[in-house]
């Protein structure tokens, strides 16, 4: 037995072992057939060394079978790579869709669906950071909102809330304005309370057509202070302002026409 015969036996054993191991995992028929043809060509090569093609003429097909097997393996690999590309593209699309869904869920978790302002959770999450950037926290409460909502309908109530939110966004940065819930809003700002006296005049005209007013409270921010405590101080100021607003309204109504 010469060295070429030993080499052919070795290649046949390796090829046959490989196809035996992976055939069950492969869904590509061209690959399986290609390996099979290649192994058959190697087997004929081995017989050719021992018997000779003059005795068994079919042995002359060894090279052709190996070539056919090689072509089929290449074709199978191309199909496999192509299918993997399609699979990878689908996976990338699914990943992108999942990311969009996660971003949507994250947005919904931290934003009010009606006004698109940050919600209470967003406010408390960013409270410490915003307290370092801004000196004042303003607390807004819409007076007589419930009555307007009941009188004019919920769609008008929603419009009042959205209009008020837009007014706040115009006066403050959107990232600094939050809807805590119901008709209560807060905003962080570097404007002093004296400078914000004009704010009521800017806000009220849009609301007074529905007999809605606004009460404003404020508190100095402090990154070392608990958010709840700062909000409570601003809330207390807001209720004092609400009392004055109610007194002014009663006085105005009591005046003779």
Per DSSP, 58 falls in state G
What's the rounded Cα separation, in Å, for the pair 16 and 145?
A: 83
pLDDT single digits (tens) 142-154: 999 999 999 999 9
Are the beta carbons of 185 and 177 closer than 8 angstroms? yes
pLDDT attached to residue 53: 52
Distance CA 95, CA 74 (A): 31
Least-confidence region, from 7-21, 42-56, 140-154: 42-56
Q: Which two tokens stand for residue 155?
A: 């769609």
pLDDT in tens, 89-130: 899 999 999 999 999 999 999 999 999 999 999 999 999 999
Question: Does the pLDDT of residue 164 top 80, yes or no?
Answer: yes
Ordered by start, the domain boundaries in the chain are: 3-84, 120-250
| Under 8 Å between Cβ of 199 and 171 | yes
* CATH number belonging to the domain at 120-250, selected among 3.30.530.20, 3.30.70.270, 3.40.50.300, 1.20.140.160: 3.30.70.270
- Position 198 confidence tier, pLDDT thresholds 50, 70, 90: confident
3-state helix/strand/coil string of 64-109 = HHHHHHHHHHHHHHHHHHHHHHHHHHHHHHHHHHHHHHHHHHHHHH
CA atoms within 13 A on the CB side of 3: 0
Tokens of 110: 């931290």
Question: Which range, of 24-38, 101-115, 173-187, averages the lowest pLDDT?
Answer: 24-38
């Amino acid at each position: 037995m010469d060295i070429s015969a030993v080499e052919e036996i070795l290649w046949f054993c390796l090829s046959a072992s490989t196809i035996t191991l992976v055939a069950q995992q492969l869904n590509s028929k061209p690959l399986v057939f290609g390996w099979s043809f290649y192994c058959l060509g190697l087997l004929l090569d081995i017989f050719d060394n021992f018997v000779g093609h003059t005795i068994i003429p079919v042995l002359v097909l060894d090279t052709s079978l190996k070539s056919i097997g090689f072509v089929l393996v290449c074709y199978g690999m191309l199909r496999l790579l192509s299918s993997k590309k399609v699979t990878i593209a689908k996976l990338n699309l699914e990943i992108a869709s999942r990311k969009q869904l996660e971003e949507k869920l994250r947005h919904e978790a931290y934003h009010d669906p009606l006004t698109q302002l940050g919600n209470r959770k967003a406010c408390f999450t960013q409270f410490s950071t915003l307290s370092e950037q801004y000196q004042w926290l303003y607390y807004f409460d819409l007076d007589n909102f419930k009555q307007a909502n009941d009188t004019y309908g919920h769609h008008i109530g929603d419009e009042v809330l959205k209009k008020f939110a837009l007014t706040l966004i115009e006066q403050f940065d959107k990232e600094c304005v939050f809807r805590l819930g119901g008709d209560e809003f807060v905003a962080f700002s570097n404007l002093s309370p004296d400078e914000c006296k004009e704010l009521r005049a800017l806000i009220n005209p849009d609301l007074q057509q529905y007999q809605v007013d606004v009460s404003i409270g404020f508190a100095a921010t402090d990154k070392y202070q608990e958010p709840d405590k700062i909000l409570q101080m601003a809330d207390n100021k807001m209720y004092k302002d609400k009392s004055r607003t109610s007194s002014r309204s009663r006085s105005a109504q009591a005046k003779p026409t």
